[in-house]
A and B are shown apart, each in its own frame.
Chain A
Amino acid sequence: MTWKDEWRRVWAIVWKDLTTERRSKAGLNAVAFMGILVLLLFGFALGPDTEALRNAAAGALWLAILFAGVLAFNRSYQLELDGGALESLLLYPGARWAIYAGKLIANLVFVLIVEAVVVPVAMVLYQVSLPPGWPALIGVTVLGTIGFVTLGTFYSAMSSRSRAREVLLPLLLFPMLIPVLLAAVESSASLLGGDPMSEAGAWVRLLGAFDIIFLVASLLAFEYVIEV
């Protein structure tokens, strides 16, 4: 088994998952609407004061992404389980991490597409205008999403095959994601304000470190999780 073979497996799984999603679109629509719904709910909860909404925008957006995205992860394995496909997937030769990497990339693309819908809606609803440093903002969003999807894909491999899967995943995932939430919200908020204290850099480094640590740990540990 060379690396090239493993990568071909990874891409096969990515392609399979994204094709399934593209053909039905049910998951994507549901998750994107859930994100927008959470944004609306926060708007109602915080009241119509423009200034308050603008200040809370980064936090509300990230919570909307977390609450909506968490619905997508269990689905990714549920589709396999419904068709009895996970066993066959495990029977194919090749490393276990390739399955994880495939699911991870497919989930990442999925959540990024959802964000492409939810972020502009958040900017409209909360009356936030695009700051001059917007490419950095996209970078922060992508880094935060990688951390979120890395752990989400890993934990949903367990929760989707347990009892009470809808409850278990957020309970496992959200406490672990608090560093991502803090770093993403703080750096987005300071970038939206023009980063006057240039504090976004430290948070971005923390996000990067989180992503690398948990990406490596999940790739190594996935074998133990999927085999049983």
Chain B
Amino acid sequence: MGVTTAGMTMAPAAKSRSRGMLMGIGAFVLLAAMQAWAISISVADRDMGHLQKIMYVHVPAAWNMMIAYFVVAIASLRYLWKGQENDDLLAASAAEAGALMTGLLLLLGMIWAKPTWGIWWTWDARLTSSAVLFFIYVGYLILRAFVDDPDRRAQWSAAVGLLGALNVPIVYMSVRWWRTLHQPQSSPRTLDPNYTMGLRVNAIAVMLILIWFIKHRYDTAKMERSADQLHERLALSGRGGINA
């Protein structure tokens, strides 16, 4: 019984997998092309020279981190409201991709800070609040790793995801009051038109990668869950588990 159900879902899963692969490759190729394009059209910055090129990954990572955390908050809220497992898996996938983006943001920021400010790290508002966000969402992922029961994990992490999202503006504001040194963040309005287009297309390329990461993790999580359920069904049917 369980085996036939698995057999029937196999074909669309494989198709979705190959589509996902195609999307992933497309996103990476686009990012590489857009990076090359943006780097070739932008002139060296007056103060930073070619270091400015880090912006084409650093700033898109920051924007996409916020998108990922927004998805976590919405999916968590929807899970508490409707109780569907898919929302929980989506929140978890987005949190993972968001934490990755935050890690990338911090790492690139440090690489950028060393030659421009002369230091790897400074207790500036934007750096510090990004680091705090990183820890809030890593905490979320650690909680998921430490809880085995799927219902409990889903309920708890939805609550933690929501409280974390509520805290984002408060963290940001408190850290900004505490200290400010970072240049106003780069956005199309504060940038020389020379760099605007490069930044925009790269933000879109990074967003496609983010979507692909989330989708990939989501598909994996769904497969893991259906494997668990199949295992359970087989065990309950008395055929002695997955090998029967």
Interface of A with B (CB < 8 Å)?
Answer: 151, 154-155, 158, 162-164, 168, 171-172, 174-176, 178-179, 182-183, 186, 202-203, 206, 209-210, 213-214, 217-218, 221, 224-225, 227-228
Contact = CB atoms under 8 A, between A and B. Distances in A.
Contact of B142 (A168, A174, A203, A206): A168
Interface in B151-171: 151-152, 155-156, 158-160, 162-164, 166-167, 170-171
A179 B146 contact: no
Given A155-B160, A213-B166, A221-B163, 12 more contacts: A158-B160, A163-B146, A163-B148, A174-B135, A206-B174, A213-B170, A217-B162, A224-B80, A224-B155, A224-B158, A228-B152, A228-B156
B167 A221 contact: no
A168 B136 contact: no
B175 A182 contact: yes
A158 B156 contact: yes
A228 B148 CA distance: 12
Given A171-B139, A183-B174, A217-B166, A227 B155 contact: yes
Contacts of A168: 142-143, 146
Interface string B207-238: 00000000000000000000000000000000
B147 interface: yes
Interface residues of B, number: 31
Interface of B: 80, 132, 135-136, 138-139, 142-143, 146-149, 151-152, 155-156, 158-160, 162-164, 166-167, 170-171, 173-175, 177-178
